[in-house]
Amino acid sequence: MITKDEAHAEIATEKIDEICQQLATDCQVRRKLPGGGLLHVDRLMPFLCVYRRNPARKDAGTRLFVTGEAAFLTAPGDAPVRRGIRPLVRRIAETASARFGAFLLLEIWSAPDEDVPRRLNEKTREPMPPPPEFRILELKHSLVGDTVNTLRFALERIKSQQISAGVQVVARNSIGPPGLQSLLTASDAESISCCVLGLEIVPIYRQGEDGEPFPTILRQMHRGVSRALKKAFLTFSLSHTNTRPQHFWALGRRKIELRAWKTDRELADVSSKTDLLLQVTPINAESAWHEFEESDFQCRPIFQYRPLSIDPLLLKRQVNLIQTEQIADATLAAVFRQTQSELDRQITMLSDIGTRRFLPGSMQVFGGVDASLLGLAYRLMEQQKLPDEGQPEERVGANDFARRAAAEVEAYRHQFPNFTAQVLVRDDIFSGMLCSGGNLLIGRETSIAADRVGPLIAHEVGTHLLTYYNGLAQPLRLLSTGLAGYDGLQEGLAVLSEYLVGRLTRGRLRLLAARVIAVHALLKGAEFIETYRILVDDHQFEQRTAFTVTLRVYRGGGLTKDAIYLRGLVEIVEYLRRGGPLEPLFVGKIAADHVPIIRELLQREVLRPPPLTPRYMHSENVEHRIVRIREGMGILDMVRD
């Protein structure tokens, strides 16, 4: 509760001096101001965003547009406090201008709620959603036309419900919200090389003057406005100051609010308890195969699963109590909310294992099979009919493979002592392998062709475990457990590693294609035995292989995840063709949509460069193979390269 004396207190001159001394040495400043205001400056920046709330308005949601920026000030707009804010702003501008040669003061406010257009369709008279609208205010004879143009163009790219924004630019003698005086007069601003801009936002993001915000619209507009502001700050910095940021992302916040770190830990904690892949792996795969074989492949196998060690309802309650909506940083808020939503769906899948409800949940999390992916799978099947020439007969068992994988783990641990992965042969997994909790788990009866050992080590250790421990080395723990939708890019990157070490075989590509075809059959309503017969009769798969593929797809009640291996490979190939760098993909477990976010957070120094790069990246011909992909080589040609 703010007392009357606190609300009417002014900021003492000695406090302003102390703040500016800290800024001059690039210290972070975060100070509460009289009346409930806040000054946050990451480090001395050539700009300051300001929001002053008119005490006559509730103005829900508008404050958010400044609180995610690297330098912002929020304050009530009543007269006593205003007298303290104006000298503070001037002194900050003087301090920054002395360092950078110029300074940009940008104030944001919302237009009256009556300005939200109420539109009707001309033919049907149905209500139509209002478009985003902005008004940029600049001082007459301003010299920052380039900054204004950058801001205008960036704001015009914002959309709400598929409607593009409208932007006006207006010249004024003074700039400030309606009913409030300008923080700096034109002459004062000119005397200290300070440029002043205003941004008025039509509040389509809330339900009237005293109404609550529309959460989705507010989040969308917040992200768009935040991006537009940083682009304008970059243009201003390059054109009017002596600082040279490499990218507009570099002008974002480095110091992340404690609430964001807490949210990251809470989400990562839930994610670590949600080991869907292990829970949905049958514990009776071998006995199910023998029963299926003894029935002459006529009786659908019955699968059994590990009992859940957690109560999905309690876990769901835990994830939904995490307050992702409280995060001011637009980028992190979007990442956290995506992850929260996906975790909620995965927890539902845990409770639905073995029921008909499992498949719809799998579709929500992992997607299905589109026509282009299915077409590629059939082309791979057609092209890769013949077995590889010179296929060795030698096989490697679980314990021998585990020893070789452990040697690779030790090589990574030598580079990075925190790479503490274990390679474990498990009795409760009959065949195959998976990464869980930073360890590689291998089924006791696993048998691998000798020439597949290297590619699988690159796949499991050099990709899955490496990205786990690289993520664990970052401040954001979610990069180790995985951001929303990470599976596709992660598996695509892992399959790419097999190609980069030179052993993406015909058999491997046929297997990836078979998984897509099996998922498609599942989604078309085929039963287990029908899908098994498609693989055996139509595509000449060996019976045990066809059973394993079908088991993987039908486990839990229908798991569409296996289609992402080929889909992810397509995704990573297209990414490389567009010139995308591989390095950001190893920071942690991310989706393709997160690459710009990772690059932004690296530029902002929120994230650090990853401690490890895959050892296979130093293998012979790796650079040549990457160049071949960038030049347009298709997946159908990878096996021959």
Predicted pLDDT at 2? 47
Which two tokens mark 257? 């609010």
Position 346 pLDDT exceeds 50: yes
CB 481 within 8 A of CB 268: yes
What is the distance between the alpha carbons of residues 469 and 134, in angstroms, rounded to a whole number?
Answer: 44
- Cβ neighbours for 449, distance < 8 A, ≥ 6 positions apart: 391, 392, 394, 395, 396
- The domain that holds 63 is classified in CATH as 3.40.630
Residue that wins the pLDDT comparison between 388 and 95: 95
What is the four-CA torsion angle of 400, 403, 407, 413, rounded to 10 degrees?
Answer: 150
Amino acid occupying residue 530: E
Query: Of 215, 235, 251, which residue sits at a domain end?
Result: 251
Predicted pLDDT at 392? 52
Question: In Å, what is the CA distance from 304 to each residue of 281, 282, 528, 531, 557?
Answer: 9, 5, 15, 20, 11
Question: Computed over its alpha carbons, how large is the radius of gyration of the chain?
Answer: 29
How sure is the predictor about 7, in pLDDT bands with cuts at 50, 70 and 90?
very low
Predicted pLDDT at 492? 94
Within this chain, do residues 105 and 177 fall inside the same structural domain, yes or no?
yes
Residue 593 lies in a domain: no
Bridge-partner residues for 160, per DSSP?
163
Within this chain, do residues 280 and 239 fall inside the same structural domain, yes or no?
no
pLDDT per residue over 34-86, tens digit each?
Answer: 878 899 999 999 999 999 988 888 899 999 999 999 999 999 877 555 567 88
Segment 575-582 shows an average pLDDT of: 92
Within this chain, do residues 229 and 278 fall inside the same structural domain, yes or no?
no
Predicted pLDDT at 122? 83
Predicted pLDDT at 301? 94
Within this chain, do residues 86 and 132 fall inside the same structural domain, yes or no?
yes
Predicted pLDDT at 403? 95
Within this chain, do residues 44 and 167 fall inside the same structural domain, yes or no?
yes
CB 306 within 8 A of CB 279: yes
Within this chain, do residues 321 and 183 fall inside the same structural domain, yes or no?
no
How sure is the predictor about 640, in pLDDT bands with cuts at 50, 70 and 90?
low
What is the distance between the alpha carbons of residues 45 and 92, in angstroms, rounded to a whole number?
Answer: 10
Which two tokens mark 625? 């193979």
Query: Of 306, 327, 351, which residue sits at a domain end?
Result: 351
Coil, strand or helix: which one is 436?
strand
Question: In Å, what is the CA distance from 238 to each residue of 44, 243, 245, 369, 604?
Answer: 16, 7, 8, 47, 17
pLDDT per residue over 397-426, tens digit each?
Answer: 999 999 999 999 999 999 999 999 999 999
What is the distance between the alpha carbons of residues 71 and 290, in angstroms, rounded to a whole number?
Answer: 66
DSSP symbols for 80-148: HHHHHHHHHHHHHHHHHHHHHS-EEEEEEEEPPGGGS--EE-TTT--EEPPPPEEEEEEETT-S-HHHH
Residue 493 lies in a domain: no
Predicted pLDDT at 630? 94
Residue 619 lies in a domain: no
Query: Of 303, 326, 351, which residue sits at a domain end?
Result: 351
Number of domains making up the chain: 2
SS (H, E, C) 272-303: HHCCHHHHCCCCCHHHHHHHHHHCCCCCCCCC
Predicted pLDDT at 384? 62
- The neighbour count for residue 179, using CB atoms within 10 Å, is 11
Within this chain, do residues 239 and 296 fall inside the same structural domain, yes or no?
no
Within this chain, do residues 214 and 322 fall inside the same structural domain, yes or no?
no
- The neighbour count for residue 129, using CB atoms within 10 Å, is 13
pLDDT per residue over 611-638, tens digit each?
Answer: 999 999 988 889 999 999 999 988 888 8
What is the distance between the alpha carbons of residues 372 and 369, in angstroms, rounded to a whole number?
Answer: 8
- Which residue range is the domain that position 333 belongs to? 256-351
What is the pTM assigned to this prediction? 0.86
Within this chain, do residues 188 and 94 fall inside the same structural domain, yes or no?
yes
Residue 505 lies in a domain: no
Position 388 pLDDT exceeds 50: no
Segment 561-566 shows an average pLDDT of: 95
Mean pLDDT for all residues in the chain: 91
pLDDT per residue over 272-306, tens digit each?
Answer: 988 898 899 999 988 999 999 999 999 999 999 99
Position 13 pLDDT exceeds 90: no
Residue that wins the pLDDT comparison between 326 and 136: 136
Within this chain, do residues 163 and 189 fall inside the same structural domain, yes or no?
yes
**Helices 285-294 and 543-554, packing angle to 10 deg:** 120
The residue written with tokens 């243009």 in the block is 235
Q: Is 224 left (phi over 0), alpha (psi -120 to 50) or beta?
A: alpha
Predicted pLDDT at 620? 80
CB 469 within 8 A of CB 418: yes
CB 82 within 8 A of CB 9: no
Predicted pLDDT at 80? 54
pLDDT per residue over 155-176, tens digit each?
Answer: 999 999 889 999 999 999 889 9
What is the distance between the alpha carbons of residues 291 and 502, in angstroms, rounded to a whole number?
Answer: 38
Within this chain, do residues 108 and 242 fall inside the same structural domain, yes or no?
yes
Closest CA to 320 of 270, 261, 259: 270
Residue that wins the pLDDT comparison between 122 and 171: 171
Predicted pLDDT at 209? 64
Predicted pLDDT at 430? 74
